């Protein structure tokens, strides 16, 4: 069933259009930077963007930082929100469930497909970022990348830490995916499920900026998203990364539990 | 309906456990130790050689009315600052201020400090000056606790309830300054009983429940960090500058630098390298600094202070309080370099500031 869902997802032109659109923003930013030579100051603007003019190999990270706050979660919410509600709206959910596989397995298959989408998307954003970065900007062959802490990172260290960042960003998206998937089991409208997940996302981002909400900040789904930057401190600061992973795990477990409780007992009419 | 219900019950139960878990862990009681306040203070003062690495958060509750030149200090005392620290000994440590997309690191070695600023790609070198503005490393609980308790007398110390700090059962100590001029009502310090390392410091003032400063470790590891971690050499393409030094400040052409030997009941003390125009008074957490002020600086500072809500303006000058910190521009300002204009700043009450200003005026006559 998982293979069926994966095939279905990646055969849809819509999936690839989404990924292409997602890549357009970092590419546009790279072209503008190249044309104007105006990079933001370090510590301002999207993370790592300041450093790409002198080191194009950092552009995959800058590309991730550019799409992370909004573009990437929107894409994830669209795909995950469509997972169950899209089938219901299209009238195909009944037929899917007529198979003996069971609703729990369908839910798991949908989740795996969404995770695969996130991973493929993040890897493509990073790969396109690398291509664009190394084509448009200077590449430093010897280890001269300055970590946030002022020490020097070798190209191998940069590559390894970029891989860690890609993994971390992928996992950071699972909370949004779980919200959208849960909403997708509540409604027959995929748009409603997507909007629900985006409302959570925007609410979380807003509360995070508010001092008055500092007590609940550690529990907000977007709280630790930017912590992939911590891979580029020296030594690596694991504290927020570990908390980010734990928090996403909690959201996934609770929301999938709720999705499962709802979906396995729901009357399917369409 | 029953079949439908158990699934939701499982989810609700799981959610309840997850939500309650942080509160349950936080509510775990901490063990106390049978140590007197004086013993504990002695342990804290002797903890300078305890190596550790850790992560700390400092939250300041003060709003300082300062100009752009001092925003760094104002941010330290009004905002939340995340600190990463590696400490090998008093002359070999590193403290990083961590922000979402950057950091500022201070690396101490035997002859001074390197400060690395990622945002400016700048490394600056300083040499442990006798006069310096507060900086992030001063806010680390270990450094702040040692400093604040170093001059506390046994009579000013009491034991308070223990607390769990960074996973350690830390024993509590309260320092209530005895000076009548004191604006800090109490300093609470929680200490690791094994090493004497202060793990949390809360500075309170009498007028509000919100601590003026609350700094604590969230993670602590008592093994010695590697020398390579505290070491620093500036990156090849960075700017290298020298730290700005308060000794270079133009204190104006004050002819009379003879400040009284005591102000507001606080005795004057001397420090090597501090110019005569700057007087330091008091001890422990109750201190007052007095400096002659060039006329042009006095005018703008006076204007700024008098615009601050709650400012007291009278014939002695302008004075304000921000939590336990108080600030005053005393005397008259003239454009020709100042005749008897002074800046008074410290952790004393506004009444004590007024008394000190009056004494300086009388001494000048």
B160: which strand partners?
B172
Of B225, B242, B259, which one is at a domain's C-terminal end?
B242
A-chain residues within 8 Å CB-CB of B55? 237, 239
Rounded to 5 degrees, φ, ψ at A16 are: -75, -30
**Helix or strand (DSSP H, E) at A155:** helix A155-172
Question: What pLDDT, on the 0 to 100 scale, is given for residue B215?
Answer: 96
A106-151 per-position pLDDT tens digit: 888 998 999 999 999 999 999 999 999 989 888 765 556 778 888 8
When pLDDT is averaged across residues A29-45 and rounded to a whole number, the result is 83
Nearest residue to B178 via CA among B91, B283, B324, B260: B283
Nearest residue to A148 via CA among B73, B236, B96: B96
Q: Specify whether B110 is located in the same domain as B222.
A: yes
Task: Give yes or no for residue B352 having a pLDDT over 90.
Answer: yes
When pLDDT is averaged across residues B344-362 and rounded to a whole number, the result is 91
Nearest-by-CA chain A residue for B122: A150
Q: The CATH number of the domain where B119 resides is what? A: 2.50.20.10
Give Cα A63 distance to the centre of its chain.
Answer: 12
Question: Among A40-49, A77-86, A231-240, where is mean pLDDT lowest?
Answer: A40-49
Distance from CA of B100 to the nearest CA of A (A): 7
Asked if the Cβ–Cβ distance from A254 to B219 is below 8 Å, we say: no
Structure confidence at residue B256 as a pLDDT band (50, 70, 90): low
Question: What pLDDT, on the 0 to 100 scale, is given for residue B338?
Answer: 43
Collapsing DSSP to helix, strand or coil, B215 comes out as strand
Task: Give yes or no for residue A32 having a pLDDT over 50.
Answer: yes
Greatest mean pLDDT range, A83-97, A244-258, B305-319, B336-350: A244-258
User: Which residues have CB under 8 Å from B149's CB, separation 6+?
Assistant: B41, B44, B45, B157, B173, B175, B187, B189, B198
For an interface test with A, which of B59, B102, B219 has the most A Cβ atoms less than 10 Å from its Cβ?
B102
Burial (CB < 10 A; 0-12, 13-18, 19+), residue B220, is: buried
A-chain residues within 8 Å CB-CB of B219? 239
Question: What pLDDT, on the 0 to 100 scale, is given for residue A116?
Answer: 94
Q: Specify whether B259 is located in the same domain as B287.
A: yes
Q: Per the structure, how many domains does chain B have?
A: 2
B119 Cβ under 8 Å from any chain A Cβ: yes
In a domain, B111, yes or no: yes
Percentages of chain A per state (helix, strand, coil), in multiples of 5: 75, 0, 25
Question: What pLDDT, on the 0 to 100 scale, is given for residue B250?
Answer: 60
For an interface test with A, which of B11, B99, B113 has the most A Cβ atoms less than 10 Å from its Cβ?
B11
Q: Specify whether B233 is located in the same domain as B268.
A: no
When pLDDT is averaged across residues A175-192 and rounded to a whole number, the result is 93
Of B207, B223, B242, which one is at a domain's C-terminal end?
B242
CA–CA distances in Å: residue A147 to residues A154, A161, B113, B117, B238: 10, 11, 19, 11, 12
**Rounded CA separation B250/B296 (Å):** 11
Give the start-to-end residue ranges of the domains of chain A. Answer: 2-263
User: Which residues have CB under 8 Å from A241's CB, separation 6+?
Assistant: A168, A224, A227, A228, A230, A231
Distance from CA of B168 to the nearest CA of A (A): 17
Question: What pLDDT, on the 0 to 100 scale, is given for residue B69?
Answer: 61
**Rounded CA separation B167/B113 (Å):** 31
Task: Give yes or no for residue B257 having a pLDDT over 70.
Answer: no
Nearest-by-CA chain A residue for B236: A144
Q: Specify whether B153 is located in the same domain as B276.
A: no
Question: What pLDDT, on the 0 to 100 scale, is given for residue B94?
Answer: 96
For an interface test with B, which of A149, A249, A258 has the most B Cβ atoms less than 10 Å from its Cβ?
A149
When pLDDT is averaged across residues B281-290 and rounded to a whole number, the result is 91
Rounded to 5 degrees, φ, ψ at A46 are: -60, 145
Question: Among A18-22, A82-86, B244-248, B290-294, where is mean pLDDT lowest?
Answer: B244-248
Q: What is the CB neighbour count within 10 angstroms for residue B227?
A: 10
Task: Give yes or no for residue B246 having a pLDDT over 70.
Answer: no
In a domain, B143, yes or no: yes
- ipTM surpassing 0.95: no
pTM reported for the whole predicted model: 0.88
Q: Specify whether B295 is located in the same domain as B355.
A: yes
Q: Specify whether B98 is located in the same domain as B187.
A: yes
When pLDDT is averaged across residues B287-300 and rounded to a whole number, the result is 82
**Rounded CA separation B267/B285 (Å):** 14
CA–CA distances in Å: residue B213 to residues A85, B76, B188, B323, B326: 51, 10, 11, 10, 15
Q: In chain B, what percentage of residues exceed pLDDT 70?
A: 91
Asked if the Cβ–Cβ distance from A152 to B7 is below 8 Å, we say: no
Structure confidence at residue B234 as a pLDDT band (50, 70, 90): confident
Q: Specify whether B255 is located in the same domain as B235.
A: no
Asked if the Cβ–Cβ distance from B235 to A150 is below 8 Å, we say: yes
Question: Among A17-21, A260-264, B334-338, where is mean pLDDT lowest?
Answer: B334-338
Of B186, B217, B242, which one is at a domain's C-terminal end?
B242
When pLDDT is averaged across residues B314-319 and rounded to a whole number, the result is 90
Residues 82-141 of A with CB under 8 A from B: none
A150 Cβ under 8 Å from any chain B Cβ: yes
B118-145 per-position pLDDT tens digit: 888 889 998 877 777 888 899 999 999 9
In a domain, B68, yes or no: yes
Residues 13-42 of B with CB under 8 A from A: 14-15, 18
User: Which residues have CB under 8 Å from A24's CB, separation 6+?
Assistant: none
Structure confidence at residue B206 as a pLDDT band (50, 70, 90): confident
When pLDDT is averaged across residues B46-50 and rounded to a whole number, the result is 95
Question: What's the alpha-carbon Rg for chain B, to the nearest Å?
Answer: 23
Question: What pLDDT, on the 0 to 100 scale, is given for residue B239?
Answer: 81
Question: What pLDDT, on the 0 to 100 scale, is given for residue B334?
Answer: 46
In a domain, B16, yes or no: no
Eight-state DSSP code of residue B30:
P
Task: Give yes or no for residue B269 having a pLDDT over 60.
Answer: yes
**Of the candidates A149, A239, A261, which has its C-beta nearest B96's C-beta?**
A149
Question: Hey, which bits of B71-223 come out as E strands?
Answer: 80-89, 92-99, 102-109, 112-117, 122-126, 157-165, 168-175, 184-191, 198-205, 213-221
B-chain residues within 8 Å CB-CB of A265? 3-4, 7
Q: Specify whether B158 is located in the same domain as B226.
A: yes
Percentages of chain B per state (helix, strand, coil), in multiples of 5: 25, 35, 35
Task: Give yes or no for residue A43 having a pLDDT over 70.
Answer: no
Task: Give yes or no for residue B255 having a pLDDT over 50.
Answer: no
Residues 128-167 of B with CB under 8 A from A: none
Eight-state DSSP code of residue A40:
P
For an interface test with B, which of A103, A143, A148 has the most B Cβ atoms less than 10 Å from its Cβ?
A148
Greatest mean pLDDT range, A58-67, A241-250, B326-335: A241-250
Nearest-by-CA chain A residue for B83: A237
Task: Give yes or no for residue B253 having a pLDDT over 90.
Answer: no
Collapsing DSSP to helix, strand or coil, B84 comes out as strand
Q: Specify whether B158 is located in the same domain as B278.
A: no
**Four-residue CA torsion sign, B9, B14, B20, B24:** positive
B75-128 per-position pLDDT tens digit: 788 888 999 999 999 999 999 999 888 889 999 999 899 999 888 888 999 887
Question: What pLDDT, on the 0 to 100 scale, is given for residue A86?
Answer: 86
**Of the candidates B8, B18, B116, which has its C-beta nearest A150's C-beta?**
B116
Distance from CA of B95 to the nearest CA of A (A): 11
Residues spanned by the domain of B354: 249-364
């Amino acid at each position: 069933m998982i293979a069926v869902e994966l095939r279905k997802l990646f055969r849809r032109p819509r999936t690839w259009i989404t990924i292409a659109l997602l890549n357009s923003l970092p590419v546009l930013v790279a072209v503008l930077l190249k044309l104007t030579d105006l990079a933001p100051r370090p510590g301002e603007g999207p993370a790592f963007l300041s450093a790409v003019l002198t080191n194009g190999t950092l552009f995959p990270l800058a590309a991730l930082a550019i799409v992370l706050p909004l573009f990437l979660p929107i894409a994830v919410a669209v795909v995950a929100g469509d997972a169950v509600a899209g089938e219901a709206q299209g009238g195909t959910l009944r037929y899917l469930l007529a198979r003996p596989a069971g609703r729990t397995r369908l839910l798991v298959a949908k989740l795996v497909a969404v995770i695969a989408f996130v991973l493929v998307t993040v890897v493509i954003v990073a790969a396109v970022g690398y291509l664009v970065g190394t084509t448009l900007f200077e590449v430093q062959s010897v280890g001269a990348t300055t970590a946030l802490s002022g020490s020097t990172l070798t190209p191998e260290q940069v590559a390894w830490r970029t891989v860690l960042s890609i993994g971390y960003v992928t996992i950071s998206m699972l909370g949004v995916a779980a919200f959208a998937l849960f909403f997708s089991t509540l409604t027959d409208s995929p748009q409603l499920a997507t909007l629900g997940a985006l409302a959570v996302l925007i609410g979380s981002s807003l509360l995070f900026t508010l001092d008055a909400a500092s007590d609940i900040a550690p529990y907000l789904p977007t709280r630790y998203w930017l912590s992939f930057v911590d891979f580029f401190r020296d030594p690596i600061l694991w504290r927020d990364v570990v908390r980010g992973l734990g928090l996403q795990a909690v959201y996934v477990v609770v929301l999938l539990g709720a999705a499962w409780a709802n979906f396995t007992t729901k009357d399917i009419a369409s | 309906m029953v079949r439908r219900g158990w699934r939701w019950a499982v989810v609700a139960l799981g959610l309840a456990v997850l939500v309650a878990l942080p509160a349950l862990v936080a509510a775990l009681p901490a063990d106390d130790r049978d140590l007197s306040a004086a013993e504990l203070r002695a342990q804290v003062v002797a903890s300078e050689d305890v190596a550790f690495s850790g992560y700390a958060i400092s939250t300041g509750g003060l709003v300082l009315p300062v100009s752009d030149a001092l925003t760094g200090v104002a941010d330290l005392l009004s905002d939340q600052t995340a600190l990463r620290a590696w400490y090998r000994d008093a002359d070999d440590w590193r403290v990083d201020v961590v922000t979402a997309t950057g950091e500022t690191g201070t690396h101490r070695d035997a002859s001074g400090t390197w400060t690395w600023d990622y945002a400016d790609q700048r490394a600056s070198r300083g040499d442990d000056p006798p006069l310096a503005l507060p900086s992030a490393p001063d806010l680390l609980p270990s450094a702040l606790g040692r400093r604040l308790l170093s001059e506390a007398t046994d009579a000013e110390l009491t034991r308070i309830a223990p607390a769990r700090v960074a996973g350690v059962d830390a024993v509590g100590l309260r320092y209530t300054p005895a000076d009548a001029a004191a604006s800090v009502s109490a300093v609470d310090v929680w200490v690791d009983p094994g090493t004497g390392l202060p793990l949390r410091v809360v500075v309170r003032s009498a007028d509000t429940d919100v601590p003026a400063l609350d700094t604590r470790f969230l993670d602590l590891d008592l093994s010695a960090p590697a020398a390579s971690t505290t070491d620093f050499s500036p990156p090849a393409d960075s700017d290298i500058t020298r730290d700005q030094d308060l000794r270079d400040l133009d204190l104006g052409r004050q002819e009379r630098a003879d400040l009284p030997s005591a102000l507001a009941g606080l005795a004057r003390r001397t420090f090597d390298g501090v110019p005569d125009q700057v007087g330091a008074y008091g001890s422990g957490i109750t201190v007052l600094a007095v400096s002659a002020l060039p006329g042009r600086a006095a005018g703008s500072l006076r204007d700024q202070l008098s615009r601050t809500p709650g400012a007291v303006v009278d014939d002695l000058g302008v004075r304000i309080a921000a939590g336990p910190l108080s600030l005053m521009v005393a005397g008259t300002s003239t454009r020709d370099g100042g005749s008897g204009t002074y800046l008074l700043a410290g952790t004393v009450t506004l009444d004590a500031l007024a008394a000190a200003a009056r004494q300086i005026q009388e001494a000048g006559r």
